[in-house]
Amino acid sequence: MHMEACAGQASSAHIVLVHGACLGGWSWFKVATRLRSAGHRVSTPDLAASGVDPRPLREVPTFRDYTKPLLDLLESLPSGEKVVLVGHSLGGVNVALACELFPEKIAAAVFVAAFMPDHRSPPSYVLEKFSSKKFVEGRTLDWMDTEFKPQDPEGKLPTSMLFGPLVTRAKFFQLCSPEDLTLGRSLMRVNSMFVDDLRLQPPHTEARYGSVRKAYVVFKDDHAIVEQFQRWMVHNYPVDEVMEIDGADHMALLSTPTELARCLADIAVKYAA
């Protein structure tokens, strides 16, 4: 991206950072530190069965259950307070749900290399498109040693997912330091993409989700949700602003945190003012 577009001016906003699948609020530690140093208030909630949340995945049967810690945070905000809501990876789907339920509490939604639903299709649409071999040039994620397992014989609970060491190194953390890779591997937890549940949900509405201002930050060296697919999502559901970061892998939260924090600070100042 052009760095002059992400200067991170001095102002204060409440920024809520939402993690991706198998991760936790910990994944934002570098970005959160930089944003707080710039004077912003930052929240990094752990979604259900993630980070240090004590619940096992089997106690989180739906995507809304998974999102509940974020929804509780938004519901607890004082009347009139608005946040800049940022989602990474699968966290974009959590952000979309939050926008649908609490549009009046969100100054802007920022999708960083994140799945971004539209308001025409069920929220599962972008996840299913991502997994489809029909996507342009077949550039879908090679899941490599990711483990997908049923949680119960009846198939009533969502299929569990855990990224293996090979896919983590090659597709998610390929530009991160060995230390960050070790940290990430040690803190990952079994999660789910909740596709079957999301397929049953109605599309988010134009009146609520569609009313929230949106920005997208493209990670140009992402080997997980590749740049081509990130740009397809923006084409599918245009946003108010698109930024991009060169040399950013899927875990740019760790590999290029200064650049990402500048982008988020820039967006926060612009939309939360």
Active-site residues, by number, are 89, 222, 250
Q: 123 Cβ partners below 8 Å, 6+ apart?
A: 63, 93, 96, 97, 117, 198, 201, 203, 204
Closest CA to 2 of 243, 220, 175, 215: 243
**Cβ atoms of 248 and 256 closer than 8 Å:** yes
What is the Cα–Cα distance from 42 to 33, expressed in whole angstroms? 9
Position 105, amino acid:
K
Q: What is the 3-state secondary structure (H, E, C) of 185-209?
A: HHHCCCECCCHHHHHCCCCCCCCCH
Cβ neighbourhood burial of 222 (10 Å; 0-12, 13-18, 19+): buried
Position 252, amino acid:
A
Phi and psi at residue 186, to the nearest 5°: -75, -25
